[in-house]
């Protein structure tokens, strides 16, 4: 069997590993702060979903990287581009333990073949059958997380728009809260900070895999979840991503309790977002 399970930093072949894995692989090779993990090629994903013993052994070769809490994400071929974004179409499974990786891989693969995902692919002129690679990464324990646009997605202004909330970033992506919003110039100057309403956070479930929603103390609802140091680190991350990928990016990120920023995903801002 070809080397279809590799270190994420070695992922370079998009037709096998998908756009997300290749994008994150490039970031790791450039020294950007991406959580470590492995990339699974789409043929291997199919074999894992079928319970193929040889395929499962490929995962075992990376057992030392698959301990603790993991995030299992889709990396379909053609998944994210300047003309299409599959955010919300393909499922991500968080807080996965090693014993649950196979089940999570099946969930992610099947989400890429759902009626909604196939309809979106057809609308974008992509082939109907999705070749779904998978990324398995260490799950960051975030103080806060969210998204960063290197160009304002509504106005088109050359400024950074950061949206953030407490806990895992799914609470921002899903629209479950009104996140804090920060406008930052391309020189790193804070232009505006607007508190959101963050009455809940998404966090990993105490038992089993997956996540739970937890209410937050009232004092945290409108308290900004990022300080000046966090914003400076995110601005630096944005600049480094632009140097690697080019302009007009949509980044997903997390800040841990030490203040360190982690890059979770980088893709072009979808055409028509303005």
Q: Domain 142-268 falls in which CATH fold? A: D-amino Acid Aminotransferase; Chain A, domain 1 (3.30.470)
Global pTM reads 0.90
Adjacency order of strands within the sheet including 159-166: 190-194, 180-185, 159-166, 142-149, 249-256, 261-268
Domain parsing of the chain, residue ranges: 5-138, 142-268
Measured between alpha carbons, how far is 237 from 234 in angstroms, rounded to an integer? Answer: 5
Measured between alpha carbons, how far is 178 from 174 in angstroms, rounded to an integer? Answer: 10
Q: Name residue 96's beta-bridge partners.
A: 70
> Is residue 86 predicted with pLDDT exceeding 60?
no
- Do residues 89 and 111 lie in contact, with contact meaning Cβ atoms separated by under 8 Å? yes
Q: Name residue 213's beta-bridge partners.
A: 202
Token pair of 87 as six digits:
């955010």
Measured between alpha carbons, how far is 33 from 13 in angstroms, rounded to an integer? Answer: 21
To the nearest whole number, what is the mean pLDDT of the chain?
89
Residue 52 DSSP one-character state: -
Q: Domain 5-138 falls in which CATH fold? A: Dna Ligase; domain 1 (3.30.1490)
Shortest CA distance to 209 belongs to which of 134, 131, 106? Answer: 106
Shortest CA distance to 135 belongs to which of 270, 32, 44, 248? Answer: 44
Cβ atoms within 10 A of the Cβ of 15, count?
A: 12
> Is residue 79 predicted with pLDDT exceeding 70?
no
- Do residues 45 and 6 lie in contact, with contact meaning Cβ atoms separated by under 8 Å? no
> Is residue 83 predicted with pLDDT exceeding 70?
no
More confident residue, 126 or 32: 32
Measured between alpha carbons, how far is 117 from 128 in angstroms, rounded to an integer? Answer: 9
Beta strand 132-138 pairing with 159-166: unpaired
**Most distant CA pair in the chain: distance in Å?**
55
Write down the pLDDT at residue 3. 76
DSSP state string for 129-171: S--EEEEEEEPP-EEEEEEEESS-TTT--SEEEEEEEEB-THH
- Do residues 8 and 39 lie in contact, with contact meaning Cβ atoms separated by under 8 Å? yes
Do the domains spanning 5-138 and 142-268 agree at the CATH topology level? no
Tens of pLDDT, residues 90-139: 789 999 999 999 999 999 999 876 556 566 556 666 665 678 999 999 99
């Amino acid at each position: 069997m070809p080397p279809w399970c590799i270190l994420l930093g070695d992922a370079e072949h998009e037709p096998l590993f998908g756009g997300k894995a290749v994008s994150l692989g490039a970031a790791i090779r450039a020294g950007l702060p991406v959580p470590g993990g492995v990339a699974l090629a789409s043929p291997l994903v199919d074999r894992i979903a079928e319970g193929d013993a040889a395929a499962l052994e490929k995962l075992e070769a990376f057992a030392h990287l698959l301990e603790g809490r993991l995030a299992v994400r889709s990396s379909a071929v053609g998944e994210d581009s300047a003309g299409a974004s599959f955010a919300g179409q393909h499922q991500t499974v968080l807080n996965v333990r090693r014993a649950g990786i196979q089940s999570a891989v099946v969930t992610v693969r099947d989400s890429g073949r759902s009626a909604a995902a196939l309809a979106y692919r057809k609308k974008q002129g992509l082939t109907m059958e999705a070749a779904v690679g998978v990324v398995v990464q260490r799950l960051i324990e975030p103080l806060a997380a969210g998204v960063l646009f290197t160009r304002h997605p509504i106005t088109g202004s050359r400024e950074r728009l950061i949206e953030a909330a407490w806990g895992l970033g799914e609470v921002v992506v899903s629209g479950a809260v009104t996140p804090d919003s920060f406008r930052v110039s391309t020189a790193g100057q804070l232009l505006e900070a607007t508190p959101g309403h963050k009455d809940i956070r998404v966090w990993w479930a105490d038992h089993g895999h997956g996540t739970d929603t937890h209410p937050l103390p009232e004092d945290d609802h409108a308290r900004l979840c990022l300080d000046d140091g966090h914003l400076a680190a995110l601005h630096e991350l944005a600049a480094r991503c632009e140097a690697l990928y080019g302009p007009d990016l949509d980044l997903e990120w997390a800040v841990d309790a030490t203040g360190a920023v982690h890059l979770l995903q980088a893709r072009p801002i979808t055409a028509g977002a303005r």
